Amino acid sequence: MGTFDQRPRLLLSAFLMNTSSHILGGMWRHPQAQQHRFHELAPWVDLARKLEDAKFDAMFFADVVGLYGDHEGGWASHVRKGLQVPSHDPLVLLSALAAGTGQIGLAMTSSVIQAHPFQFARQLSTLDHLSNGRVAWNIVTSVLENAHRNFGGASLVAHDDRYSWAEEYVEAAYKLWEGSWADDALLADKANGIYADPDKVSKINHRGQIYSIDGPHLAVPSTQRTPFLFQAGSSPRGTQFAATHAEATFLFAPHPQYVAKKVAQLDTNLQAAGRRRQDLKVFAGLSFVVGSTEAEAKALEAEYDQYLDPHAIIAHIGGGLGIDLGGLELDTPLGQVQTEGAQGVLEAVLASTPGGNPTLRDLAHYRAKAQQLVGTPEQIADQLEQWQDAGIDGLNIMNHVLPGSYDNFIDGLLPELRRRGLAQTQYTPGSLRHKVFGRGDRLPSNHPAAAFRGAFTHSSAASGQPEQNLVP
């Protein structure tokens, strides 16, 4: 057990999705589960207020914009099991939650394939204004072929090419967020009739392989300008992208040793990107079953296990890998898999299984159990100190049932974490970025987005450059 007063606190995020079945397939059937009401506003508002009262740092919403790959020869099983279909748009939900909360961070997933960067940058700036600087973007590239086809693609773009796409996407967004408006451009000077200073509002004139954007950004700079940046890829290319751009990265890690390996990779990539380890927070995705005694915790775990559907979990993972694992016995070895899908997920599965050739049963166990901590508050807190020693800075807390899993965490484990100094008791005033890093609302100067500050003054409204391609 560590010395309580010498450890930094753990950042706490609730890992959610605006759907009925997210990570732990089948749990929506539990009598106390309310996730089947995902399409209603009231349960989300209640949960947001509960998490804010507990001083969680963020609500982190996953998302998909297409079906997972086929299971059992098609997609009927996805509909039957509710495998992230139906699912609703987290951006719209967060707009409502921003009005019902005042401190908790609001993180949403959006893929580079689903929205043009000009429109997306405007939406996020608007939401950052309305939430007083509490918005975060989880940058993803979409591993699902159906998602790419939903947005005009012929097929799934190759893994590394998706990250090249993401590089241009974030560059265009950075130009809009950081370079289009000076901080003092907006005057709203009623006496002189000047709303904004033409010298300080600029077009970005981005010309890339994928996007052509003139600008200017139509939203005035928000509290954070660029939203807080999450990234969840853990492949070698994903780790490189995270080290270059992300302020927080999210790992599906089967054990602390895997965390240590990934953090070492991140350290190397951070140095190559001119950034430091303290510029990037590492979150581990974990679920918790807490009891006042070990027997009580085991009993609750057994109760949850009755509702877990291993076939739904396998459909979820296989669909992300682009492999139909349906119709196979649970003891079938996964074998050597080459995939353009979620390569980091496959790497973590192989790392968690002795011998490196897991069965489908191992696959389901990895997702449901390898990242689940069960026990008394003291036992779990001891384990979390080991995860922290391996390199994590925070927890992205998965749920079995909504809202009960968070009640179990808040009532059972949180008091012990606070006793050890591992959880905050009050919010730091300011934006989400300032709450997390304590160094102001804006990205630091060593982040690539900072290069675009003041970079487009030659294209300001006062520069005399004519508007091009006017449509009569």
Binding site members: 63, 109, 159, 163, 234-235
Rounded-to-integer distance, Cα 68 and Cα 137, Å: 22
Which residues on adjacent β-strands are paired with residue 372?
Answer: 287
Which of 48, 384, 92, 439 lies closest to 247 in space, CA to CA?
439
For the chain, counts of helices (H) and of strands (E)? 16, 13
**Measured between alpha carbons, how far is 381 from 257 in angstroms, rounded to an integer?**
17
> Is residue 378 within 8 Å of residue 4, measured between CB atoms?
no
Sign of the CA dihedral with 114 first, then 120, 123, and 127 last: positive
DSSP string for 20-32? S--SSTTGGGSTT
Closest to 408 measured CA to CA, from 386, 385, 384, 376 = 376
Q: DSSP character for 419?
A: H
- 395 beta partners: 12, 284
Q: CA-CA distance, 145 to 159, in Å (whole number)?
A: 12
Question: Which residues does residue 12 pair with via DSSP β-bridges, in sequence order?
Answer: 395
* For helices 42-53 and 90-100, angle between their N-to-C axes, nearest 10 degrees: 60
Q: Token pair for residue 185?
A: 């451009």
Give the residue ranges of the annotated binding site for FMN: 63, 109, 159, 163, 234-235
Closest CA relative to residue 384, chosen from 428, 420, 410: 420
Residue from 143, 155, 183, 185 nearest 339 by CA: 143
Strand, coil or helix: 214: coil
Task: Give the integer Cα–Cα distance in Å for 6 and 16.
Answer: 31
Distance from C-alpha of 310 to C-alpha of 367, rounded to nearest angstrom: 9
Q: How far apart are CA 298 and CA 296, in angstroms?
A: 5
